Structure 1
């Protein structure tokens, strides 16, 4: 049995070695590159724009709130590394009208050149029990979180193919790897990005275009603060099992992975474990990554089952406490 296992690992390593020239992209050079960030007026999107600007990129910020965009533009410009850099602001809802999105991106490319990297960071969240969430919320979240990434990507992909280069980043969430209590409206929209990214990567890889899916954990942003106001108790308790990350830290990791052309981008030990557990048939970009997935999958599954058990226990305890409280109210 050990011999067969060893033989399998050796064969796997040889296979990866043979195909490694096909899966190892060249790093994208950010100095002078044109980076478009949707949802770039605050939170992770703003920090990604700042990180790219620090490395010499030209930035196009896209968001709905024009005032926030102008404030963010001023903040980003403080980090310029040369006097040629430009921050362009465009106020548009990327989830409503594809033709409008296509037109504004054409205008951005006329001013700053072809898009070298697109970061789809526009998104929103609604938490609550499945039966308590208004039906139109499901439609709205799918439009913003999914179509809001489809439209900008669709608008730049042809030019990237013509140039035989580019990076497209989809900012998902750890809730796009694991469905949790309270996220029945949010999680499916983030899971959808993974399917889009895998299919798109297979299409564009021959053109030297690489797709990255980022799975940030709970991150200290205005959106997270707003979401926390309406979280069910179960969701809060589950979220408290892991720490809250800073947006700057998350942004650095995402930009680094996008530059390298990594398909998966995760933050911290929990994020690493989830990326291994949910790797499935997703692309790999190095021999090391493939080996880590093969070797760690089993032990991480055991750890994952422990987490799932603890989450189920939290939900069960909350339900019992709620029923006990309701029963006591009826007897009074």
Structure 2
């Protein structure tokens, strides 16, 4: 005998199931962080996403501290940020020249001085980073180490310097700028992908430790963004990487920074940009923290469909790589 389920009954069962999960789930949705007259600390904030984030922060009324290596760029950055102050008479924009990947003592002292002058840190944005796009055999071991030092260990060091202050206040947001290359492996990014994937493991483990202190983490996966670093990266980027990356498009740093800012204030763990970003976030969510029941339902409902769609993307990438290899072989440029 064929069993026919009324669509309305099926929908009612589904809604009831979601309500049961919602009522009995231990999920805690964080309160929206108030940033007006707060304090935002940013690494790598002298250009790109970091600088755009700093400008967005002062527009929203926050004091801002920018940590970066280049002193001249920091001076120019400070002037540009101060043009957007919401409270020109009281807001502060501080800058410190420090290498977050090499000198922890100087970094910790800079954070201490910034907090003493601009107030407790409400939000830390770890955006210091860079990319090297080369085939694996063309990437030196020293380049692998440098990528890990800056993209991963730099974020770890800055977080270690800031977190004790947040735990003491039982409030704060930690934001890590990963990349869509921190969600899937991409040709030419063996070193870069590894350094950005590392951020995810760190962020997931740390969120378990800091959640009882009302500190929430946002892990951002921006697509290609039109920054000075991106232009430099393009110099050595293999053709395969160029063609694969084109599928996600190119975004402006202001748009990306605004999206990350909103997600961080809401306490969302996964932050993404665009439809491709949503697909990757849902596909790779795994056992990541959930701070919104609606987000969790979306992940469950869409994962199967997105996995099917991913087959077409992967097939397209394979065809790109094969075609490039055939072209290299035909012109005699393939590595012997």
Same fold (TM over 0.5): yes
CA distance in 2, matches of 1:10, 1:192: 38
Deviation at 1:321, TM superposition (A): 1.3
Name the Cα RMSD after superposition. Answer: 1.9
Given that 1:13 and 1:291 are in contact with CA atoms closer than 8 Å, whether structure 2 keeps it comes out as no
Using structure 1 for the length normalisation, give the TM-score.
Answer: 0.95
Q: Does 1:226 align with 2:229?
A: no
Residue 41 in structure 1 maps to residue 46 in structure 2: yes
Structure 1 residue 102: Cα displacement: 1.1
- The aligned counterpart of 2:246 is 240
Residue 312 of structure 1: aligned partner: 318
Does the alignment pair 1:134 with 2:140?
yes
Distance 2:282 2:178 in 1: 16
Q: Give deviations 1:31-62, integer Å, cap 9, x for gaps.
A: 11110000000000000000011000000000
Which structure 2 residues correspond to residues 162-177 of structure 1 after superposition, within 5 A?
162-177=168-183
> For residues 214 and 166 of structure 1, do their structure 2 counterparts lie closer, same or farther at Cα, with a shift above 3 Å needed?
same
SS across alignment from 1:115: coil
- Aligned mate of 1:252, from 254, 258, 269: 258
Which residue of the partner structure matches residue 58 of structure 1? 63
* Correspondent of 1:261 among 264, 267, 284: 267
Any gaps of 5 or more consecutive residues in structure 2? Answer: none
- SS of the residue corresponding to residue 204 of structure 2 reads helix
Summarize deviations over 1:147-166 as a string: whole Å, max 9, x none: 11000101111111110100
Please point out which of 309, 313, 330 is paired with 1:324: 330
May I ask how many residue pairs the two structures share in their alignment?
Answer: 328
Of 259, 283, 289, the residue aligned with 2:289 is 283
SS at match of 1:119: strand
The equivalent position to 1:90 in structure 2, one of 92, 96, 99, is 96
Per-residue CA deviations over 1:159-199 (Å, capped at 9, x if unaligned) read 11110100000000000001100000100100010111100
User: Which residue number corresponds to residue 302 of structure 1?
Assistant: 308
User: What are structure 1's unaligned runs of at least 5 residues?
Assistant: none
Cα displacement (A) at 1:12: 4.7
Q: CA deviation at 1:103?
A: 1.4
Structure 1 partner of 2:203? 197
Equivalent-residue separation in structure 2 for 1:50 and 1:327 (angstroms): 46
Please, what TM-score do these two structures have when normalized by structure 2?
0.94
* In structure 2, C-alpha distance between the alignment counterparts of 1:272 and 1:234, rounded to whole Å: 24
Q: Deviations over 1:87-140 (max 9, x none)?
A: 000000000122221111111111112211000000011111101111100000
How far residue 327 of structure 1 moved from its aligned partner, in angstroms, is: 8.7
Summarize the Cα distance change of 1:323–1:208 in structure 2 as closer, same or farther, 3 Å threshold: same
Partner secondary structure for residue 240 of structure 1: helix
State the distance in 1 between where 2:246 and 2:172 align.
37
Contact 1:13 1:287 (C-alpha < 8 Å) held by counterparts: no
Name the CA distance, whole Å, in 2 between partners of 1:149 and 1:64.
14
Give the whole-Å Cα distance in 1 for the aligned partners of 2:172 and 2:72.
Answer: 30
Q: What are the equivalent positions in structure 2 for 1:14-33 lying under 5 Å apart? A: 14-19=20-25, 22-33=27-38
1:155 matched residue in structure 2: 161
Distance 2:144 2:129 in 1: 13
State the Cα distance separating 1:11 from its structure 2 match: 3.4
Describe the shift of the 1:198–1:74 C-alpha distance in structure 2 as closer, same or farther (beyond 3 A). Answer: same
